[in-house]
Amino acid sequence: MEAFKVFIYSIFKPLNAFRIIEKKWGFKIYWFTALLILVVAVVSSYVIGPKMQEYLLESQIQTMRENFPEMEISEEQLKQFSGMGAFTNIMMIVSPIVGSIIGWLFIALIYWGLILVFGGETNYNKTLTLVIISSVPVLISNLVNMFYTLYTGKLIIHQGLSGLVATGDTFVNASNLLYLILSRVDIFILWGLILLIIGIAISCKMKAWKSILTVLIVLILGLIISFIGASISRRFIPQI
């Protein structure tokens, strides 16, 4: 089964995986990897989700008490305000699936455009295959986080080196550019970026420096979008 072989190669022999994608791409190549990532993401959300909700709930209570010291805010009231319950359980299934698929489609579109600008040989379907196969480190990261939470009962709150500058306020962290940059200094994120660089260079017949530049542009765009989005949220949410 070629899809399974490409998945295994992406971990142990990435050069071989991307040489296959150079000649063959599409659903028949990436379906196994995509399915595995989605299944693990859903299972991981069930394991980590409840504890993450508790952490975010505590953070929200602290933030609201700091902004509105005169208000009496109970945990039950905030749970109702946050919509926790059956809807949250449904979202634990839907969000990882929909989020991953939309993310793949959108990121592949950006990479497709940049690769063509830099003179690479590709099409959208091949680029989407590269993006999904290069997401294998995300799968492994989810497994590590899930088993860590299962065995320790704790969460990995701050990704990468972001814990060095983290505060107790989720919104402050998310709108801190240094925090966002350090959160990308993570073995799994770096692994995924390296896979993308290799994949674009081999499968799209691009020079190494062009492949590196393409991946860096997308990384920087992602940081900017995250920073702007978090800054807007931090500005308006306390006023609700």
Residue type, 19: R
pLDDT in tens, 55-108: 666 666 566 666 656 656 555 555 555 545 555 666 667 888 899 999 999 999
What is residue 240's predicted lDDT score, i.e. its pLDDT? 40
With a cut of 80, say whether residue 12 has pLDDT above it. yes
Residue with tokens 């986080």: 145
What is residue 180's predicted lDDT score, i.e. its pLDDT? 84
pLDDT in tens, 124-179: 999 999 999 999 999 999 999 989 988 888 888 788 888 888 876 666 777 788 88
- Residue partners of 163: CB distance under 8 A and separation at least 6: 157
Whole-number Å distance between alpha carbons of 25 and 133: 10
Average pLDDT of the segment spanning 12-27: 95
